[in-house]
Amino acid sequence: MRLLRLCSALAAVSIVAGPAAAETLRSETSFNTGVQQKAEQQPAGGMAVTYPVTYAGGGLDGCTADVQESLFPYEEGSWGIYEVAAKVACDDGGFAFTSTGSWDAKGFHGAGRVTEGSGTGSYAGLAGRLAQSGTVTPASEGTADIAYVIQIDRPD
């Protein structure tokens, strides 16, 4: 359980809309896994958590994401698979995305998509793929510090 909590995270997220991208939004966030709460429903063979993140700087400055993450550990938690669903809210609209990936002692990597039709306000019509990669730094009391970048290339 401690290793799951240590390894759970979202990490560096890059969302690419494709060759027709007109504008790139890029922001950063960091958090400690101590903010994670055990989700009401738990998956068989894994653990589900929820947690908030706030983006700073760049095009998503001040936007928040409500993240739901399921983790499935293997080999006594030395590596595993994660699934993420997130809703991003900004003063001028928002969007959702999903991704799946894996982690090990070196970090984590994943891929997914902006949820079709989820964009509102300034993000209406937002579409694209996303890639995740990042690292997890052990912290106190079985928690970890997570930092990641989100990048979104908006279509014309």
The 10s digit of each residue's pLDDT in 37-79 is: 999 999 999 999 999 999 899 888 999 999 999 999 999 888 9
CA angle at 36 for the pair 87 and 88, rounded to the nearest 5°: 15
Cα 30 from Cα 53, distance rounded (Å): 7
pLDDT at 29 over 60: yes
List the single range of 29-38, 51-60, 129-138 with lowest mean pLDDT.
129-138
Question: Which pLDDT belongs to residue 112?
Answer: 80
Average of per-residue pLDDT across 85-103:
93
Beta-carbon-side half-sphere exposure of residue 155 (alpha carbons within 13 Å):
12
Token pair listed for 56: 């700073």
The pLDDT > 70 percentage for the chain reads 82
pLDDT at 15 over 80: no
pTM of the model: 0.80
140 vs 129, higher pLDDT: 140
pLDDT at 2 over 70: no
Domains along the chain with CATH numbers: 2-155 (2.40.350.10)
CA-based nearest residue to 118, from 18, 41, 3, 15: 15
Question: Which pLDDT belongs to residue 154?
Answer: 63
